[in-house]
Structure 1
Amino acid sequence: MMARDFLHQTVRIALERDAWIVTHDPLYLRVSDVDLMVDLAAERIVGAEKMGQKIAVEVKSFLGASAITELHNALGQTMVYRSALRRLHPERMLYLAISEDIYQEFFLNAFIQEVISDYQVKLLIVSHSRQEIALWKE
């Protein structure tokens, strides 16, 4: 069993409070002989036609000694998961969930913003103290 990220339960609660239904915790993916686990998958019914939005969420707390090293790891993991989702669940959009604190302290740096843009990483920013979504960043 994989170790859950410090922020995992906060992200799950925040999604549920925002009317998302968590469908997988974790979402298991198998591509060829490679097994992967994305932290969460959720969906939400939109409108009268019952057309749903589906997402996958990788949760990262950035609690290591170096935020840039944590970013290296998160980006690599995000790229691999995105590739697997494209093959197995193309309807799911992948988000990297982070705390509001790390977003303000690290992710608002101009260079980090460029990196996130270059790699087209979608962010889900969560308030840990309020256990709610602070911002969706496409």
Structure 2
Amino acid sequence: MPRRDTTHNIIKQAIIKDGWSITDDPYVISYGERFLFVDLGVRRSHFPTQPKGSIIGARRDRTRIAIEIKEFRGLSAIADLEQAIG
């Protein structure tokens, strides 16, 4: 499992304060024999049902999202962005 960014818990608490519920930390997507790790899966607290098997890891009302947390602390923000998105 990849190392967490230093801001992971700060962002997680901000998401919770905004009314989301964390469903997965991390949200794991299986792709054949490979596994992809998305930092957080969440859903809106007052909308309790989430479909099983959904590839989306977060939900707010009827909107679902997966949240990937990235920090750009290198000498070049462009190089960091390139590294983050591959």
TM-score, normalised via structure 1 length: 0.48
Structure with higher helix content: 1
Structure 1 residues without counterparts, runs of 5 or longer:
77-138
Aligned with 1:61: secondary structure?
A: coil
Aligned with 1:56 (options 66, 69, 83): 66
Query: 1:64 Cα shift?
Result: 1.7
Q: Find out whether 1:23 has 2:23 as its counterpart.
A: yes
Structure with higher strand content: 1
The 4+ residue runs of structure 1 with deviation greater than 6 A are none
CA distance in 2, matches of 1:6, 1:69: 19
1:19–1:44 CA contact under 8 A, matched in 2: yes
Structure 2 residues without counterparts, runs of 5 or longer:
48-60
Q: How many residues align?
A: 74
State how 1:22-101 maps to structure 2 within 5 Å. 22-44=22-44, 52-76=62-86
Alignment identity in percent? Answer: 37
1:45–1:53 CA contact under 8 A, matched in 2: no
CA distance in 2, matches of 1:13, 1:45: 14
CA distance in 1, matches of 2:7, 2:45: 25
Question: Which residue of structure 2 aligns with residue 10 of structure 1?
Answer: 10
1:29–1:35 CA contact under 8 A, matched in 2: yes
